[in-house]
Amino acid sequence: MARPMKKGLDYFPFDVDFFSDRKIRRLQASFGNDGVAVYICLLCEIYNNGYYIEYDEELAEDISAQLNIKYTLTTQILNYLFSRSLLLLIECKLAVPVKVITAESVQRRYQAGKKSARRDIEVAAEFWVLKTDETESFIKVRPFSEKSGNNPDKNGNNPDKSCKNASKEKKGKEMKGEERKGKESPVASAPVFCPVMSQEDYDILCKEYGKETIDKYIRKIEKWQKKRGKKVSEPAAVIQKWMEQDGVKKDTFDEDKYAFVINNF
């Protein structure tokens, strides 16, 4: 039986002129050695995972604890890295919305590190930022949403419609915010599919605790499953236990309770 191929890299090249790079010098001038440490720590996390890493509220907490620096400083450094394009923050509206961190330089090193594997490497089209002429022939770009079976788009080959570079889009949002007011997003009106648990359990939890809260804990479940390589047998029960430990209260707004009053208007 063939040995399964490691998803990430065992090591990655570190340029000898790293500290001579203008962007790195500015990073160090702004945040001292902490800025450089956070950047290198992120690179290690990304390459250990492959060519990207999911970005959630726990990532900054983990890095802060690992490097023994303040959480607020870590988030400031992260925002700086995104604003200077040292790293890219990509937002994708998949079954469960996800944000990932990657970079063109990261993906170039990743495919160089996988060149000796002598087999095709599949990457997610939604997260792959290198152009076709920059992508090696053994890199097979497949729609992530198509592989997971949760993409309502049958073609599934145009990630630009559902994914965006959050750093570059920020200014555009501010400029067009007023223009887009009152226009409903076509994605927002689509049905929500949950890959972690049954649709019924998901709807019940969302009604009791709110969609935003449940989606947050679903991401934690997915992260747990990804790290351990196995699925949670009763995800709804686990999420409820976690929320109980975290002191999360049920949503006090009862739609049925106020339906009579609402219907009179």
Report pLDDT for 182.
Answer: 44
Q: What is the pLDDT along the chain (265 residues), one digit of tens a residue?
A: 445 556 789 889 888 999 999 999 999 999 999 999 999 999 999 999 999 999 987 899 999 999 999 999 999 999 999 999 999 999 887 777 889 999 999 999 999 998 887 788 999 999 999 999 999 999 999 887 554 444 434 333 444 446 777 766 654 554 455 444 444 433 333 344 566 788 778 888 888 888 888 888 888 888 887 777 777 878 888 888 888 888 888 875 555 545 544 455 4
- Between CA 74 and CA 87 the distance in angstroms is 14
- Strand duo 88-92 + 163-165: pairing: antiparallel
Report pLDDT for 226.
Answer: 77
Residue-level length of the chain = 265
Report pLDDT for 193.
Answer: 53
Report pLDDT for 134.
Answer: 94
Q: Decide: pTM greater than 0.85.
A: no
What would you report as the CA-atom Rg of the chain, rounded to the nearest whole angstrom? Answer: 21
Report pLDDT for 24.
Answer: 95
Orientation of helix 22-49 relative to helix 57-67, angle to 10°: 110
Report pLDDT for 162.
Answer: 61
- Between CA 155 and CA 157 the distance in angstroms is 5
Report pLDDT for 241.
Answer: 85
Name 78's Cβ contacts closer than 8 Å, sequence gap at least 6: 38, 42, 60
- Between CA 91 and CA 170 the distance in angstroms is 12
Report pLDDT for 253.
Answer: 54
Report pLDDT for 149.
Answer: 43
Helix or strand (DSSP H, E) at 223: helix 211-228
- Between CA 177 and CA 248 the distance in angstroms is 32
- Strand duo 139-142 + 98-102: pairing: unpaired
Report pLDDT for 11.
Answer: 87
- Between CA 156 and CA 111 the distance in angstroms is 23
Report pLDDT for 23.
Answer: 94
State the CB neighbour count (10 A cutoff) for residue 13: 9
- Between CA 258 and CA 262 the distance in angstroms is 6
The type of residue at 155 is N
Q: What is the pLDDT of residues 114-153, one digit of tens each?
A: 888 778 899 999 999 999 999 999 999 988 755 444 443 4
Residue ranges of the domains in the chain?
194-258
